Amino acid sequence: MLINEKPRTDVRVYRYQITLFEGPGEKYRGVHTTLIDQFEKSIVSTYEQIKLDLIRKHKELPNPATYLVNTKFAFPLNETLLPVAKRLLVKKVNIAE
């Protein structure tokens, strides 16, 4: 998951893992994220180039499913932006139950 807050040029890269929890009669999804890298976005360092750099650096990620969270405003990352990004990621990713 790539997170970028405009007008900042840094892009934070998180590895995510989605797990399923079962409660009485309901199923829940949890997302665990780990910051694995940070890049400076520029004309030559596009999101696509960042993904290619990740594939080269992390051999265990041959073709990772990559999602971009891009916001026009700066928010506190851990308190606001990351929890919202996790919710959006869970909505986007369809896990077979």
Tell me, yes or no, whether 60 lies in a domain: yes
Task: Note whether residue 32 is domain-resident.
Answer: yes
| 50 within some domain | yes
For residue 97, is it within any domain? no
pTM across the whole model: 0.81
pLDDT greater than 70 at residue 97: no
What is the chain's percent helix, strand, coil content, to nearest 5?
Answer: 30, 40, 35
Give the range of the structural domain holding residue 31, as residue numbers without chain letter: 2-92
**DSSP alpha helix (H) spans, 1-97:** 47-57, 82-92
Q: Is residue 65 part of a domain?
A: yes
Number of domains in the chain: 1
pLDDT tens profile 42-84: 988 999 999 999 989 988 877 778 899 999 888 888 888 999 9
